[in-house]
Amino acid sequence: MLRSHVLPVLALLVLLCIAPLVFYPIFLIKLLCFALFAAAFHLLLGYVGLLSFGHAAFFGTGAYMCAQALARWNLAPELALLFAVAVSAALGAVIGFLAVRRQGIYFAMITLALGQMVYFIYLQAPFTGGEDGIRGITPGHFLGVVDLSNPLALYFTVLAVTTLAFALVWRIVQSPFGMILEAIRENEPRAISLGYNPTLYKLAAFTFSAALAGLAGGLKAMSFQIATLVDVTWQMSGEVVLMTLVGGIGTFLGPVVGAFIIGGLEQYLAQSALPAPVILGAAFILCVMLFRKGVAGTAKSLLQNRAPKRSTPDNPETQATNRIVK
């Protein structure tokens, strides 16, 4: 499992280190933030089988809290990020506590509704500045040494933080805790009979996922020096679902690939005449109808069986793709 991922991960890291030669650092930062956000979302969907349609609530909370700490309290960037993570995790614990009582479609609807509630609260709360958002952020010096006003320094700081976060996600899904999560996803009654409390494990995973999404939002606010309502909208929640779907559900690198594709697509489509929702909607339909394995999932199955197998309904592999994970 580990060995099959070493090469792609190293290649990706090398590519990301030389990418600023070709692309603007701020564009790459956006991609990294989206990738971390998608990984946080996928931690729930891919490993616990829970589809959250309200993850923008945590992304946006991270952004607002980081912006608040940087712009109004003049905290150091690392402390501002920690604050953003802590508040997002707390919010995740509350929303998770309510949402893990239901599964499947209901879970998706509940997270969507609670995410919308968070949006309305931020819309009315005075500190968020309503439609204007929080502006006037000065990122300062990371750990007291790295000057974040330099775009390249900012980029490598964000790259370092996201890499660390990804390492943490990898560690978690490989840990006994991650294995229990997968066991609950595969067969919940059996996990219960083995003495595990699924609700508690789901809540822990939800909180952790919310914390990571908050970190992604905080990094975005710190880098773009603004936090706005856009980050809390249900469209943002939908976008992260699409990223994961395009990249491939159930693969570790899928969300990263999907985030890069959707983030890049958005940048490219900013000049097009058609509104972005049309393209995103079409991408959703295409993915669900024809491309359920996503990019990483397709690549994986191509690598695993170079000799093409005939796909029949009896083939366990075809059956497996009918489920949303693995």
Partner 1 sequence: MEIFGFPPQLILGQVLIGLINGSFYALLSLGLAIIFGLLRVINFAHGALYMMGAFAAWMTQAWLGLNFWAALVIAPLAVGLFGLVVERAFLRSIYHLDHLYGLLLTFGIALLIEGMYRYWFGAAGKPFTTPDVFRGIWDLGFVIVPKYRGFVVLASLVTCLAVWLLIERTRLGSYLRAATENPDLVSCFGINVSLLTASAYVLGAALAGLSGVLAAPIYQVTPLMGTNLIIVVFAVVVTGGMGSLSGAIITGYGMGVIEGLTKVFYPAASSVVIFVVMALMLLLRPAGLFGKEA
Residues that bind partner 1 (CB under 8 A): 51, 53, 98-99, 101-102, 104-106, 108-110, 112-114, 116-117, 120-121, 123-124, 234, 238, 241, 245, 273-285, 287-289, 292, 322-324
C-beta of 9: minimal distance to partner 1 in Å? 28
C-beta of 167: minimal distance to partner 1 in Å? 29
CB 306 within 8 A of CB 316: no
CB closer to partner 1 out of 6 and 289: 289
Instruction: Look at residues 276, 268, 245 and name the one whose alpha carbon lies nearest to residue 258.
Output: 245
CB closer to partner 1 out of 289 and 307: 289
Taking phi over 0 as left and psi of -120 to 50 as alpha, with beta for the rest, 251 belongs to beta
C-beta of 97: minimal distance to partner 1 in Å? 9
From CA 181, how far away is CA 261, in angstroms rounded? 28
The tokens for 48 are 């616990």
DSSP, collapsed to helix, strand or coil, labels residue 312 as coil
Strands (DSSP E) contained in 107-240 are 141-142, 146-147
CB closer to partner 1 out of 12 and 269: 269
From CA 173, how far away is CA 209, in angstroms rounded? 12
C-beta of 134: minimal distance to partner 1 in Å? 21
CB closer to partner 1 out of 178 and 238: 238
CB closer to partner 1 out of 26 and 105: 105
Residue whose pair of structure tokens reads 């990804």 in the numeric block: 166
Distances (CA, A) of 278 to 281, 282, 284: 5, 6, 10
Q: Distance of alpha carbon 199 from its chain centroid, rounded?
A: 22
Query: Which residue type is seen at 165?
Result: A
C-beta of 143: minimal distance to partner 1 in Å? 39
Residue whose pair of structure tokens reads 């990223």 in the numeric block: 243
CB closer to partner 1 out of 55 and 137: 55
C-beta of 30: minimal distance to partner 1 in Å? 21
